[in-house]
Structure 1
Amino acid sequence: MGPRWRRRKYNNEDTLWEDNKVESEVGLDADNGTLGSWFKVSISNGRNYDRTWLINSMQDLCSVPFIPVDFHYDKRRARFFVQDARTAYALRDIHNKICDEKNQKISIFVSPSVVPYSVQNKFTSEEMEQLKVTVMKRYDASQKSLDLQRFRFDKDFMDNDIDVMLNRRSCMVATLQIIQSSIPELLALNLCNNKLYQLDGLSDMIEKAPQVKILNLSKNKLKSVCELEKVKELNLEELWLEGNPLCSLFSDHAIRDLFPKLLRLDGKELIVPTGMDIEVPQYYLFYDNGERFRLLDAYHDQACFSLTVSSNFNDPDLSNLEEYFKHNRDMKKVQDSYMRMRLLKHTKHTIVDSLSLLPKTQHDLGSFLVDLCFHTETMLCFSVNGWFKEVEGKCQGCVRAFTRIFITTYYNNSRICIMNDEMIVRNASPREIQNAFIPANSPLSEEQQEMVKSFSMQSRMKLTWAQKCLEDNGWDYAKAAEIFTMLQNESKIPKEFFE
C-alpha cells in the first residue's frame, strides 16, 4: 500500500495544472488573485541545476518580470516565493517549457502560500543599521576577513535586544546583503559556532560574496554533504568543517568533489588526486570493515545501482537470502514499472545508503576473478566474481557467490569513478563453500618477509595484520602505508591489530 499511495500523490501533483477546475479550487486564478497574495513556486529536481541558470531561464520565458523571494532547497526541489497572482499564473504557464542540457523538461508547480517566514521576520531599518555596525566591527580590512563566530551572542545585539540567529534564512540573507554592499572584497568568512544545520540562506553567497576563498563552518550542526552542495559554486581554497556531524560520515574525497579547487581542509593540505583512485581490494576493504560510507568517493554523483538475486529453485535455503530479496530487481520477477524504478538506485548518496543496509560481510579476496569487458579512452567496464560470507545476523557464516559489473569513467579529468554498478548474489554451491576461505599456502619471498617486518616495525601492527595490509594493497609498500595512515588518523584500526 505504501508505494501505491506515494504514486497516487505524485500523479495528483502532475495533473494539478491540467485541470482548470482544480486550479480555481486551490486559489490560483489570474483574474481573481489580488496583488500582494503570496505563492510558492517549486521546481522538481531543482537541486540538479545551477541556481543562476535556473532563475535566468525562467525569467527569459516568463511573460511577467519577477523577483524570487527566499530561494532555497527542500530535499531535491528548489523553491521560492512570488507576491501576486499574475506573476504566479505566468510562472505556472512555463511548466515543462524549459529543457535542461539532457533535453529533460523542467516541472514547475505553483500554489498559494502564507507570507514567507523571511518576510514576516524582516529586520526593521534600525535593526539593519545595528546589524551593519556590528558586522563592520568584526571585519579585519587588512586580512579581508570577517569573523562572525557566535554571532548571536554579540554584546551589541544583547544590549539592543536584537535576535540575530544565522541558522535562520532571514538573518543570514540580511547579513549577506550587508556584506555585498559594504564588503564586496571579502576573502575569508568565519561562521564557526552558529548552530547551522542547513545552508539554504548561505547559498546567496554565490551572488553576494563571490570572492570568498576561505570559509569556516566548524562546530556547527551540519549532518550531510548535501548541505555543502548548496554552496559548491564558490571557488573555495580553504574550508573548515571540524566539529560537524558530517565529519564522521564523509571523507575528504566527498568534499573535494564539490570543491575541486580546495587546497586545505580543516587546516590540512589536501593531496591533489592523480591516476586511478578505484582499486578493487581497497573497495572491498571499506565494504567489509563497516565503512561503507567511505565508498561514496568511488561513485559518480549520478551513478546507478541495482541488485539481483540469482535463485536456484533446487536450493533448499532460499529463505536465507531474505535480506537480499528485499532489494531484488530481477526483471523476470518484478513486472511493475514503478517498483522497477524504485529498486533502481540513483545518485551516489542513495547507492551508499542502500549498500549500508545489506548484511555485513567478509570477502574472500583469493577467490576474486576480474574480467575486463570493454574499454575506451573515457570508459571502462569490468566484472568481479568471487565469494563472501556474512559475519553477523541470523545467516552468520553463510557463504554467497557474487558477480559485480562496474562501468567507470573519469571524473573532473583526475580520477576514475563508478557510473553503473550491478550486483548479482546467490547461495554458493557445496563445492564453492568447500573451496572458500582456504588460506594461501604459497610462502612469502625473502623480499616480502622483509617488507612485512619493516611495515610491522613502522606501524607497530602485529606481523599478521602488517602482512594483510600489504597483501590487500598488492605489496605496494607506499600505498599500504598511505592507507594505514589514513585509517589510523580516523581511528578505524582496532587496537587488537597492534602489538
Structure 2
Amino acid sequence: MDFKTVTPSPDAITLNEINVCLINQCKALLDVKTYWHKFYIIETYGLTRNLVLKTLLEHIQPLELIPLCYTEEGKGAYFFARNCSQVIKKFCSDKLTVHNPFDFRKPFKLKIALKYTTTCNVKVDHYCRNVLKVLQKRLKSHILCLNNFVEDPDLNDFLLLSEPKLLAFVLNVAKILKPKIIKLCNNEIKSLEALRVLPAQSINALDLRNNLITNLTELKHLSIFDITELWLEGNPLCDLYDEYNYVEQIIKYCPKIEKLDGFLLRQNGVPSFRRNFLCDVSAYDVIDQFLEDYFPTYDSKDLAKLESFYHKDALFSMTAEQFHNQVSSATSHIKSYKQYSRNLMDTPNRDSNLYIGSREIVKLFELLPHCEHDPYSFTVDVMHYSKKLAIIIVTGVFMEIPYVKRILGFNRYFILECRDKNFRIANEQLHIFNALSSQQAKAFKKPRVLQEPRNETQKNQMLNTFAIITNLTKEWAKIVLEECHYNLKHALLVFIDLYKSDKIPSHGFKTYD
C-alpha cells in the first residue's frame, strides 16, 4: 500500500488557519514517530514541485523535513512526512502561512492532517525502491554520481541534498551499492555530517565541487574514511584560506590524501611536488600583498608607478629561450626579448644588457610588448624570508596584447630588501620562454577577478563570480559587493555572516525549476 491508495485514519485531526490553536491539544500525538501526517498546500500558483518544497524547507530552517509523495491536486498539492513535531509547531506558530518569494501578495496557505495514517499501512521502503533505482542508474564502476541529484527526471520525490536529513536518507539507501567514490557536485551542500551514515572506510574519494561549504572544519566528518582524493573547488571556503593553510588543514582531517583539487600531494604515501613553497608562514601576508600590487601595476600601461617597487640602485637582467616541439612553438616568438637578453652563451652584447637603477629598469619595460599575466597560473616559492630580506621565485604565463595567441612563460627571481619599513626589489632576474604545452592548455581559462576592479568590465566579472560562489541573485550579489567596495574576500565573509544569521531573504537566492 502507498500514500495514494491508503484511506485516512478516522482519528485524523486536520489543522487549518481557523483552528490552528488545536495544536496545543495535540502535543502528545506529535511525538509518536509511527504516525504519517499529511500536509496540504491549498494553492501553488502554478509553481513546480521543487520551487514549492524548497520554499517550505527554507522557511523552517534549521529544522529538517523529508517530504514524500508530493502530488498536485487541483490548484494545490499535498505531501506526507513523519517524525516532524518541531516542523509542525513551526508552521502552526506562523498560522500555517509561508511567504511566497515569487509573489509576496500570494503566500502559501497550509492545512495539516495529523495522524493521517501509520507506518504499519505505509512503509518508507516503498519509496526507497525508487531512490535505489535512480542510484543504480547513477552508479558506474563503484563511482556513484549524485551531481544535481534533485533534478533527476526519474526521481519521484523531492530530495534536496543540501538538507542534511535528506542527504542522510539518500546515502543510507546508497549503502547497499557499496560505492568507493561519491560525486556530490552542485547540490548546495553546507554540512558533511550526513556522510557518517556510510560505513567507516567505505569510500576513498569524494567530489564536493560547487557547493556551499564555508569552513574546513566540516571535513572532520570525513575522518572515518580513508580519503585519498578530494575535490573542494567552487566552495566559499576556497577563497577564505591561503594555499598553505588550505593544504595543511585538509591533510589534518584526511591524513591519507594523495590528490586535492586535481593536484598530486603525494603518491603511495610519498610526498609529491608542492605547487607552492613557503619557507616561513609569516611571509604569506607580505608576499601576497607584493604580488597583488606588482603584477597588476606591471600589466597596466602606467609603468611609471612600477619604479616605486624597485630600489634606486636595483639590478635587473633578462634571459630568453625558445623551446621546440611545444604547442606554442609556432606562434610565440621571443625575438622582441632576445635583443635585451643577457644569455651568457649566445648574446654578444651581454655585458651591456645589465640594467642598473629603477629608472633604467622601467625604461626597458617600456620597450617590451604590453602584456597581461594569468595569476591563476602562478607558482610562488619563497626561498628565504626575514624582516630584512626575502627571496621569491614566481613562475607562470602571460599573454602579449593584442597578440592573444602569443602565450609566453616566465620565471622571475626577486630579491627584496626591506628599507624604510617597505620591501623593495634589489635584484631581479627575468627568464622568458614560449609557453610549454601543459601551460598553454591551462592558460587564461579562469576569469580574472581583481581585489580592486579598475573598470566596469572587471566589476561585472567579479559580480558574476561572486553570484556563482554564493548562489545569490545578481541584485543581491551587487548589494553585498558594493557594501564591501568590491573587495571579494571581505564580501564572502559578510555573506557568510548574513547567511548564518538568516538575514538574506529566500528571494535573494537564485531558484531553479
Q: Answer yes or no: same fold by TM over 0.5.
A: no
Give TM class, smaller chain: 0.3 to 0.5
Higher helix proportion (structure 1 or 2): 1
TM-score, normalised on structure 2?
A: 0.33
TM-score, normalised on structure 1?
A: 0.34
